[in-house]
Chain A
């Protein structure tokens, strides 16, 4: 038999490289003679990992999708990708692989596109196997998954997006299993009755997890049974130096000698199986690799998914586990720090979540059981089988499997505007608390966006989700007086927090229904806002909070000012509000001045407000009666009543009544 040649591609991050390497290892074990070639992009993680594992690597040029908006980045993308495709065509022609194994990421784009091209021209015999490790397939895999000979996914649910794919699982290394907790703890010198928390953010490390864990330590270590193992990762870039940053933060903590002994910090967790085996609870990221490893080892996991990744895939992976009771999730929240806007988890939140789990051994045991199905050690063999079948030119037909369907709305699939539309239509009922938690995470992500269109959705979500704890953020938005860029101001813009956001923020204040001094300040500022919809929304809010406002003279004075606002809509709201609030009969003069206002909608508001004032016994009836003939009463503005429709309505109501009156037959 001819020596088989396998071409591997995929990368950008370790999450795409490791599965490819795992499959290659398995194939090499089965066919020691076979040839392997890895194709990646220079300067990405595959450059280091692949040669270390003993595989040859070639580089092509490629770049991540910059978005469809016309930009320099888009041109560069097109150029790099075209060059990459040409390079890949050469590689494919020279190497003549039997099978291509692609694990996703933009790194694999040139090879796969070149393969599609050559395949169409019948210039290659190679078969392609595409593997998607995350629940939400990446952009490239969604496209190529339809053209590849075989597509494998790690989550059954992924087939909602790639219906032709086969569920194969995540290729996890076989040596993961086979060490007991007692052995591991003995080696690590941890007492058997300790409760061990293992926290790590992948081989590079995660700033969110490192910082949250350090902040949580004082509280966690108060319990003398808790031990903490921390893998900080080897990231050492100007923006974040994992070890240095963690050490300096740790030394700033005031911990006793005994407490310090129960915390151990490692740059690297090697071999990770040992640490896994020793742990009662693992705190980690939501990448498919980490999750599968945890599942194979049967660990209770607390997942802090990395936010705002393409397709939000870590969050979606984590939620799939959470749905089955196999893991708990703590979301990152955008926060303003001295380093700018970054995603953080507060130490407090982490500590509470960890403590809650540690104090509930039953729950931990359940989680260990529930996570098992997600880690399938036979996955690697299955994938290798598929690849060998392809390389041999055999294509077995897939067994029919129904595509999983979700009952009820899938929030993760909705856009920001979609979420707003759904929630304002269906309200909050029937939404379980953990979904609310997820939706809060989404709202947070939107609130920290630079684009006002997205931020606006965040503001609306805060109101719809009744997030009272976000009141500060809403007040912050209303107090933020940063001007819009000059060109926007020239065209009629005003502040960075655009008119729609401010208007909606006032609506959110009403939805949250919280009154305090800060809200009062914001309301007073709202009456003077440059944008008319904000002023009228503020006036509406004043009526909404009338009980709390009472006779606040400052607010009353401001509302009186709104009665003669240059804007029709605002003046109308101001007049209605004064009808609601006024206590002083002298206000009548302000209304009387509007008796001949050219716009009848304002005069109409005057009539409504006067009615209210008389009902509230603020103004004596005689005063108004005496001057009613001064009121400009024109016959203008009407709503039609179509008589035929009226009679038809009557008929159909009569029909309904008659139907109900009929005796049951």
Chain B
């Protein structure tokens, strides 16, 4: 909302509203979205905990005279609603609703929040942790989302990523010359000698092309240079976002269905519609990985924060033409909004950790873990960084693989345990590590992996 308000104000009162132009910047909105959702979580956290507790969204203690003084039974769950609330408010304030990325992420959040919410609700209603949605129903809901999202993502008309048939936003060529890019005080000064650009204005004390020609997602949309020349003047063109340069003066044609792997600049292959299976797999994988990791206080929260931080940085870089070109990445116009979203999620997660760290006053429940996992899966597909998650989310990989080996291979096929317990954090508990120690060690490992994942930005 504030984004669109500031835009309006800047156009209406150019001079007075000058500083509001800050709101146009992705980096600024990412940071404030993070801070906003963090503050919201902290401020309403206590209220939400009390609300959940009173509504009996927890294990109800049946007999107080025999209860354990060691267990955390009775701690309110479904804390995911706290995060979802904070993310929604923060995005409502700072999001640019012209970016398709935002809609995809909001769709993911709503879908998975519903799945996790129903699951938690059933568990609580029956006071039985096995009475939630059946395993089959959960997988079906996740696969269903994967199919819908996959189709929207791969179909030319709806994909948020650049594509030859997709309209782009007009840009202005070579503005950075002395005549064009010069100091100014009023808009009127810029109207003369504007290098052929219509409607140049004075922004931050320098003459600049008007926002409608700036290449942002909300600039005039075009399919050919002609439209841009007509709208902005001689120096404007319609960028071919689906092409990106790589070293050696080569240009690579980008497609949403191409497979990219970390540490390698070029697409591995184009899977076309088969790519939908990759998408479904990653969605189901991410949703369940976070779900399994949510076993100890703060265990899921920490690695998820790191994951969203790294994907947020990727989103910001890929949504910025200059940085994307510099790092030899395909430029994804509008991806900056994914950074804002990731920022809001990180803020909410940190705020949640405030209450969730050992000993927890609130658990996120499936409402939290499945939602976070679903958003995470969506973000990495949108940024075409799915395979980075195997490195970045190494902790999640360990959790999921340990469960798969133990339950499917060990218990069902071989008739033996392969680990003491699964997911793997229970093995550490069995070996005698205390809960806070395991959690912090998992954070340390995922922090290190996050650094590696960031190194993959340049190391290609």
Chain A residues with a Cβ under 8 A of chain B: 452-453, 456, 484, 488, 491-494, 498-501, 531, 533, 568-569, 599-601, 636-642, 645-646, 648-649, 651-653, 655-656
Residues of B within 8 A of A600 (CB): 432
Q: Are A638 and B69 in contact (CB under 8 A)?
A: no
Could you pull out 6 A-B pairs where Cβ atoms are within 8 angstroms?
Answer: A488-B413, A499-B415, A533-B416, A601-B432, A649-B64, A652-B67
Asked whether any CB of chain A lies closer than 8 Å to the CB of B404, the reply is: no
Asked whether any CB of chain A lies closer than 8 Å to the CB of B409, the reply is: yes
Would you give the shortest CB distance from A125 to chain B, in whole angstroms?
41
Asked whether any CB of chain A lies closer than 8 Å to the CB of B46, the reply is: no
Residues of A within 8 A of B409 (CB): 491-492
Residues of B within 8 A of A645 (CB): 67-69
Q: Are A649 and B65 in contact (CB under 8 A)?
A: yes
Residues of B within 8 A of A652 (CB): 64-65, 67
Known contacts A492-B409, A601-B431, A652-B65; decide if A642 and B70 are in contact (CB<8 Å). Answer: yes
Chain B, 393-425, contact with A by CB distance < 8 Å: what is the 0/1 string?
A: 000000000000000011111111110100000
Residue with the highest number of chain B CB atoms closer than 10 Å, among A533, A599, A638, A640: A640
Would you give the shortest CB distance from B206 to chain A, in whole angstroms?
60
Known contacts A498-B415, A649-B69; decide if A568 and B434 are in contact (CB<8 Å). Answer: no
Residues of A within 8 A of B410 (CB): 492
Q: Are B69 and A499 in contact (CB under 8 A)?
A: no
Known contacts A638-B434, A640-B359; decide if A492 and B414 are in contact (CB<8 Å). Answer: yes
**In the assembly, what is the distance between CA of A484 and CA of B416, in Å?**
12
**In the assembly, what is the distance between CA of A533 and CA of B411, in Å?**
13
Q: Are B434 and A642 in contact (CB under 8 A)?
A: no
Known contacts A492-B410, A637-B434; decide if A501 and B65 are in contact (CB<8 Å). Answer: no
Q: Are A453 and B415 in contact (CB under 8 A)?
A: yes
Known contacts A568-B431, A636-B434, A648-B64; decide if A488 and B414 are in contact (CB<8 Å). Answer: yes
**In the assembly, what is the distance between CA of A500 and CA of B406, in Å?**
13
Q: Are A641 and B70 in contact (CB under 8 A)?
A: yes
Q: Are B414 and A498 in contact (CB under 8 A)?
A: yes
**In the assembly, what is the distance between CA of A569 and CA of B70, in Å?**
24
Would you give the shortest CB distance from B168 to chain A, in whole angstroms?
49
Would you give the shortest CB distance from A54 to chain B, in whole angstroms?
52
Residue with the highest number of chain A CB atoms closer than 10 Å, among B416, B420, B431, B432: B416
Q: Are B415 and A452 in contact (CB under 8 A)?
A: yes
Q: Is the interface of B mostly helix, strand, loop or mixed?
A: loop
Q: Are A637 and B432 in contact (CB under 8 A)?
A: yes
Residue in chain B with minimal CB distance to A657: B65
Q: Is the interface of A mostly helix, strand, loop or mixed?
A: helix
**In the assembly, what is the distance between CA of A640 and CA of B432, in Å?**
14
Residues of A within 8 A of B69 (CB): 641-642, 645-646, 649
**In the assembly, what is the distance between CA of A655 and CA of B64, in Å?**
10
Residues of B within 8 A of A501 (CB): 415
**In the assembly, what is the distance between CA of A645 and CA of B65, in Å?**
10
Known contacts A456-B415, A488-B413, A649-B65; decide if A599 and B70 are in contact (CB<8 Å). Answer: no
**In the assembly, what is the distance between CA of A306 and CA of B432, in Å?**
52
Residue with the highest number of chain B CB atoms closer than 10 Å, among A599, A637, A651: A637
Residues of A within 8 A of B418 (CB): 492
**In the assembly, what is the distance between CA of A491 and CA of B418, in Å?**
10
Residue in chain B with minimal CB distance to A638: B434
Q: Are A500 and B70 in contact (CB under 8 A)?
A: no
Residue in chain B with minimal CB distance to A531: B416
Residues of A within 8 A of B432 (CB): 599-601, 636-637
**In the assembly, what is the distance between CA of A652 and CA of B70, in Å?**
17
Would you give the shortest CB distance from A501 to chain B, in whole angstroms?
7
Q: Are B416 and A498 in contact (CB under 8 A)?
A: yes
**In the assembly, what is the distance between CA of A648 and CA of B409, in Å?**
44
Residues of B within 8 A of A568 (CB): 420, 431
**In the assembly, what is the distance between CA of A453 and CA of B415, in Å?**
8
Residue in chain A with minimal CB distance to B411: A500
Residue in chain B with minimal CB distance to A604: B432
**In the assembly, what is the distance between CA of A645 and CA of B68, in Å?**
8
Would you give the shortest CB distance from A650 to chain B, in whole angstroms?
10
* Chain B residues numbered 60-78 whose CB sits less than 8 Å from any CB in chain A: 64-65, 67-70, 72
Residues of B within 8 A of A484 (CB): 414
Would you give the shortest CB distance from A418 to chain B, in whole angstroms?
15
Residues of B within 8 A of A648 (CB): 64, 67
Q: Are B416 and A500 in contact (CB under 8 A)?
A: yes
Would you give the shortest CB distance from B319 to chain A, in whole angstroms?
45
Would you give the shortest CB distance from B119 to chain A, in whole angstroms?
24
Would you give the shortest CB distance from A548 to chain B, in whole angstroms?
29
Known contacts A493-B414, A501-B415, A531-B416; decide if A656 and B70 are in contact (CB<8 Å). Answer: no
**In the assembly, what is the distance between CA of A601 and CA of B433, in Å?**
9
Q: Are B415 and A493 in contact (CB under 8 A)?
A: yes
**In the assembly, what is the distance between CA of A198 and CA of B412, in Å?**
48
**In the assembly, what is the distance between CA of A155 and CA of B256, in Å?**
65
Residues of A within 8 A of B413 (CB): 488, 491, 493
Residues of B within 8 A of A653 (CB): 65
**In the assembly, what is the distance between CA of A599 and CA of B428, in Å?**
11
Q: Are B431 and A599 in contact (CB under 8 A)?
A: yes
Residue in chain A with minimal CB distance to B437: A636
Residue with the highest number of chain B CB atoms closer than 10 Å, among A601, A638, A642, A645: A645
Would you give the shortest CB distance from A488 to chain B, in whole angstroms?
6
**In the assembly, what is the distance between CA of A563 and CA of B118, in Å?**
49
Kindly list the 4 A-B residue pairs having the minimum CB-CB distance in the complex, ordered from nearest: A498-B415, A499-B416, A652-B64, A601-B432
Q: Are A499 and B414 in contact (CB under 8 A)?
A: yes
Residue in chain A with minimal CB distance to B74: A645
Residue in chain A with minimal CB distance to B420: A569
* Chain B residues numbered 9-53 whose CB sits less than 8 Å from any CB in chain A: none
Residue in chain B with minimal CB distance to A644: B69
Residue in chain A with minimal CB distance to B66: A649
Residues of B within 8 A of A639 (CB): 70
Q: Are A649 and B67 in contact (CB under 8 A)?
A: yes
Q: Are A640 and B70 in contact (CB under 8 A)?
A: yes
Residues of A within 8 A of B64 (CB): 648-649, 651-652
**In the assembly, what is the distance between CA of A599 and CA of B415, in Å?**
28
**In the assembly, what is the distance between CA of A599 and CA of B432, in Å?**
8
Would you give the shortest CB distance from A493 to chain B, in whole angstroms?
4
* Chain B residues numbered 244-274 whose CB sits less than 8 Å from any CB in chain A: none
Residues of A within 8 A of B415 (CB): 452-453, 456, 493, 498-501
Beyond A533-B417, A568-B431, 16 additional contacts (C-beta under 8 Å) are A488-B413, A491-B413, A492-B410, A492-B418, A500-B415, A568-B420, A601-B431, A637-B432, A640-B70, A642-B69, A649-B64, A649-B69, A652-B65, A652-B67, A653-B65, A655-B65
Residue with the highest number of chain A CB atoms closer than 10 Å, among B72, B409, B417: B417
**In the assembly, what is the distance between CA of A67 and CA of B414, in Å?**
22
Residue in chain A with minimal CB distance to B435: A640
Residue with the highest number of chain B CB atoms closer than 10 Å, among A452, A492, A601, A651: A492
Chain B, 139-183, contact with A by CB distance < 8 Å: what is the 0/1 string?
A: 000000000000000000000000000000000000000000000
Q: Are A656 and B420 in contact (CB under 8 A)?
A: no
Residue in chain B with minimal CB distance to A648: B64
Residue in chain B with minimal CB distance to A568: B431
Residue in chain A with minimal CB distance to B414: A493
Known contacts A599-B431, A653-B65; decide if A493 and B70 are in contact (CB<8 Å). Answer: no
**In the assembly, what is the distance between CA of A645 and CA of B432, in Å?**
24
